[in-house]
A = this chain, B = another copy of it.
Amino acid sequence: MSYLDKITSPTLLLDEKICRANLKMMADKAQRHRMELVPHFKTAQSRLIGSWAKEYGIKEITTSSVKMTKYLLGDGWENIHIAFPFNPREVEKLDELASSQSISVQLINTETTKHLASTLSNPVGFFIEIDAGYGRTGVDSRDYSKIQEILDIAKNTPNLNFKGFYLHPGHTYYGNIPAIYEETREALGRLKKEFKPQFPHLVTRTGDTPGCAVVEDFGDIDQLGPGNFVFFDLMQAYLGSCAKSDIAVAMAVPVVDIKKDRKEILVHGGGVHFAKDVLQNEDGSMNFGELVYLKDDGWEIPNDGSHLKKISQEHGLLKASDELLGRVKVGDLIGILPVHSCMTADCMGEYLTLDGNWVDHAEGPKN
């Protein structure tokens, strides 16, 4: 029986071979640069995929919430880093996690550092997050006095251990990658030089998928932390981080209506399945995902312009090529490559492999 026979409603397919090739590619790249790969697991959010990652030498991972960390506990990770400016209301939950697992958090201000210092009963590591220059979060890389203030609080707190500097250059998604990485190398290199005398073991970490995919000069940065590369997606393909054939997930959606005259196909699959990230086609129209033909051993990418042009809560409307209109009928399944795989996986809460096995995700199944 094919995995396709199991599917009655929108289902996120995972091609294990592609996913493993992506893990291996990035692990090889880190090794080539004598860096450690600490992938961000906000994309996969899966214990099984974590076990695959270990086969490629990955020993530590990153999450973006206390909750996600709790889900990934107990799998023997040497450390789990929560890469989000720590929310002081979660200090009790953190303390509990830290009683059984090596955990690090991200700090960007003295208020939260003081709160942790006065509350924790278990040891927790921390990175100071450095503002990458696009203003989402982090301390300015030249604000040594603020950095020193945070470090001084930690110095007097046995349970708060400084690990290094973390810089996420998320603006590579729309900026000039070589220029951004020049700034990243400069900022992290300078901070290392400045604070290494006080903290000889500090490490520096950076990593976003577009940058880690194409950059070959990481200077003296110690660790890479990309997340999305585990699956990739259409956004990454259009940025040049991957080929469409490197995308490891596709949504299987049932065809519910066909309008040949309008060259449109209506599927069950909308915003609650894909999330609402969107690309713009060259002609200005919207692209919420692109067609693939599902086969027993994977999917075929036609590249004929068939794409989701409109979605609502549960509906998806495809602009369909003549080939697609000729090949499918109501009740068939087609595949859609997602625009942003992290958000799509979070919506769906599980994966189905091409062997017909369900793979876990922190959110739990949608269906």
Contact = CB atoms under 8 A, between A and B. Distances in A.
A275 B65 CA distance: 17
A295 interface: no
A310 B136 contact: yes
Contacts of A333: 89
A172 interface: no
A86 interface: yes
A27 interface: no
Interface string A233-263: 0000000000000000000001011100010
Interface string A253-278: 01011100010101010011001110
Interface residues of A, number: 57
A64 B314 contact: yes
A136 B315 contact: yes
A342 B317 contact: no
A312 interface: yes
Interface stretch (A17-25, A104-112, A189-197): A104-112
Interface in A303-348: 310, 312-315, 317, 329-331, 333, 342-343, 346-347
A91 to B, nearest CB: 9
* Residue of A65, A87, A111, A277 with most partner-chain B CB within 10 A: A87
Given A277-B276, A330-B112, A9 B313 contact: no
A219 interface: no
A346 B312 CA distance: 13
The 3 tightest CB contacts between A and B, nearest first, are A88-B331, A111-B330, A8-B89
